[in-house]
Amino acid sequence: MIRTVHFKNFRSLRDVELTLEPLTVLVGPNSSGKTTVLEGLQPRHDFNLSDLWRQERSTSLSIQWSYDDGLMASVVYDPKPVSRADLLNGAGVRGMHQYQSISLDLDALRQENVLAGANLLNPNGENLANVFYSLGRKQQSDVAQELCRLVPMFSDVDLQPTSNGRHRLRFQDRWAPGLWFSPTQVSDGTMLLLAFLVLQYQNPAPDLITIEEPERALHPYLLDELIQLLRKMTTGEIGKKPVQVVLATHSAELLDYVRPEEVRFLTRSQEDGSVRVNQAATDTPNWRRVYETYNQSLGGIWLSGGMGGVPGA
């Protein structure tokens, strides 16, 4: 897993070193740099001038990852005199990681799919039906059972052929077994939960999954269940292997279901607009007093502005 990542001159990340946990939560207002961090975690070689701090040709961009096994890897982009992107530091491909970015689109999740195997969920979730189809029968049953536990209005989930080699998901009514609902007839939260549930069965499992705004359309009770699911993925309790997870959120409610040491508060410098990252000083008496004052509500502390990462703070 990634222990630290150091960004230099990557868009608004002028000079930021970010420490990561198995489960890390990035929180901040709009345009605070959360998406930039998520994109910077992905190994890539297609940088251009727009990726540079203030698009200044006199600077160079670098991202360096360090891993818990001691390996390191770096990417550098220097526009002078010829644009290039190279792996450095001798770590080679061994030091890099397999990355999956998840930013689910509700219309995409509901799409019919042309029948095909799919072992990895696409970033927007458009191949969810094929990913579910590609699971083994027991895995399909486990996913359906867990979804129905979380959304007890349903008793099963399976696939229905439509036309021209296509199929779609369908959801069985709990009280009328002959009644099945199409994806357009169920809630947004139901579709999002199903997508999150299949992540644990992806094969091969990625090393790192980033998820934008996982809280959308989910009841607070389901936020707790989602965090528990993701935490089990990070420990290897479920899934093929331990998978590191980084979330980006605006939700104060979600913060109340994670540990303070897992949260990174992002804000922008008033002087030059560069991103700043704060962590809770959880090992200090002052932090413990504040935490108790806010009834152990990390969301409440964040909204107070004391940690930064809220508009105007």
Q: What is the pLDDT of residues 133-176, one digit of tens each?
A: 999 999 999 999 999 999 999 999 999 999 999 999 999 999 99
pLDDT in the model for residue 84: 47
Q: Are residues 80 and 129 in the same domain?
A: no
The encoded tokens of residue 236 equal: 């290897």
pLDDT in the model for residue 45: 78
Range of the domain at 161: 106-202
User: For residue 138, is it within any domain?
Assistant: yes
User: For residue 236, is it within any domain?
Assistant: no
Q: Are residues 263 and 279 in the same domain?
A: yes
Count structural domains, the chain.
2
Q: Are residues 111 and 58 in the same domain?
A: no
pLDDT in the model for residue 298: 87
Q: What CATH number is attached to the domain comprising 298? A: 3.40.50
User: For residue 313, is it within any domain?
Assistant: no
- Mean pLDDT along residues 17-25: 97
pLDDT in the model for residue 82: 52
Alpha helices (H) along the chain: 34-40, 106-109, 128-134, 137-150, 188-198, 220-235, 252-255, 285-293, 298-303
Q: Are residues 9 and 61 in the same domain?
A: yes
User: For residue 143, is it within any domain?
Assistant: yes
Phi, psi of 233 (to 5 degrees): -65, -35
pTM: predicted TM-score of the whole model, two decimal places = 0.92
pLDDT in the model for residue 88: 45
Q: Are residues 81 and 26 in the same domain?
A: yes
- Mean pLDDT along residues 4-9: 97
Q: What is the mean pLDDT of the chain?
A: 91
**Residue at 230: amino acid letter:** L
The string of pLDDT tens digits covering residues 44-80 is 878 999 999 999 989 999 999 999 999 999 999 988 7
